[in-house]
Structure 1
Amino acid sequence: MYNLCSSQLRVFEHRKLDLLYFIHFSSALPLMLLVDLQVIYPPIIVPAFMIDLKAFYVETFDDRFFRTPPPFFQLFVWLEILYQAPVIAWSLGGLYRNSSKVPLVLLPYALVVFLTTLTCIVEYSFWDTLLYQKICLTALYGPYLALSALMASDMYLRLDKMINTKDTLRKKSRLE
């Protein structure tokens, strides 16, 4: 029997990190649109299921960023809608097609995600709340920090390899 999903994912057969990024982006974009970005939507257009989803998240994890967001958090939300969401949308296709532009696009993206996530982690580490609540938040924010650090390192190394390859070819052509 023909399995459409597995045949489509074969494009990632020898690109395990790209598959990881693709899967992450496939879930991160809907979550971003459904939960994170609600604060900028006009309330009249937010359906009840989205309000309930956000309320469940805030209640379950006691994430104060969504209860009483500090001023910098508004900036982070705007970064999500104006920068991160378009990059993720492009990257889904770029990763699937194995575009050579992926490292150039994802290196700055990964650095933005790393720095904004690290800022949030540092902020909530000073909240007057129970340790287990901080651990729960770290279980949510930590993977974003780790994945963005991995992605930034990976994209830097890919760009470095491309540049070194071009430099080597240029030197060889000068010698001939």
Structure 2
Amino acid sequence: MVPLTTRRRDCAYLLFFASHIPIIFLIDTVPLQPSWMRTELSAQLREYYVATYKDKFFEDPAPVWFSAFIWMELLYHVPASLWAVWGLWRDHPLIPVHLLIFGIQAFVTSLTCLIDVWSWPDRTTPEKQQITYLYGPYVALGALMAFDMVIRLRARLMPKTTKRE
């Protein structure tokens, strides 16, 4: 096992996943949670988020396709993020497979959101830019993570062979 402190990208991924889990429960999936799970903190955070960023995805009703993305966060991101924290900590050999899937999914869903944001006629360009500052890093991280995992898997699956003379 290679120590985590020597794996810089894995340290960054670990920090992302550790911070992503509370965001999922405190902001993103609140409408899907039973009332007994909702807290005053999550209500305040969502209210602040909507007021500050004017994100139409968090207004009622949300687009049907965005609701599907929120369900993906709850049903896929939560278990994947929990496993990734554990797997990155332990340098699990399946990390590249799981993070490739996560990276592609995060890239595609976040890019879809950004494309839709820029089509909103009732938001100003500065408001769209502000939302882009939130969704953009998920697009970039998803792309970087997926690319990084492809490189790692390629190195494992296609090791360099010595030339025969």
Tell me if both proteins adopt one fold, taking TM over 0.5 as the criterion: yes
Rounded Cα–Cα distance in structure 2 between residues aligned with 1:22 and 1:41: 25
Q: Which amino acid aligns with 2:97?
A: L
Partner of 1:88: 81
Rounded Cα–Cα distance in structure 1 between residues aligned with 2:87 and 2:35: 33
Partner of 1:108: 101
Q: Which amino acid aligns with 1:76?
A: F
1:53-78, CA deviations, whole angstroms, 9 ceiling, x for partnerless residues? 11011101101100031110011011
Structure 2 unaligned blocks of 5 or more: none
The secondary structure found in structure 1 opposite 2:75 is: helix
Identity percentage of aligned residues: 35
1:64-117, CA deviations, whole angstroms, 9 ceiling, x for partnerless residues? 100031110011011111111100100001001111110011101110110000
Partner of 1:6: none
Q: After TM superposition, list the pairs within 5 Å mapping 1:7-46 onto structure 2.
A: 11-46=3-38
Partner of 1:122: 115
Partner of 1:147: 141
Q: TM-score, normalised by structure 2?
A: 0.92
RMSD, matched Cα: 1.9
The secondary structure found in structure 1 opposite 2:109 is: helix
Q: TM-score, normalised by structure 1?
A: 0.86
* Matching of residue 161 in structure 1 with residue 155 in structure 2: yes
The secondary structure found in structure 1 opposite 2:57 is: coil
Q: Which amino acid aligns with 2:127?
A: Q
Q: Which amino acid aligns with 2:126?
A: Y
Rounded Cα–Cα distance in structure 1 between residues aligned with 2:83 and 2:47: 30
1:44 CA drift (Å): 4.4
Aligned residues between the structures: 161
Structure 1 unaligned blocks of 5 or more: 1-9
Rounded Cα–Cα distance in structure 2 between residues aligned with 1:153 and 1:14: 20
1:110-165, CA deviations, whole angstroms, 9 ceiling, x for partnerless residues? 10110000000000100021111001001101111101100000001100110012
Q: Which amino acid aligns with 2:29?
A: L
Q: Which amino acid aligns with 2:94?
A: K
1:33 CA drift (Å): 1.0
Partner of 2:54: 62
Rounded Cα–Cα distance in structure 2 between residues aligned with 1:82 and 1:146: 22
1:12 CA drift (Å): 2.3
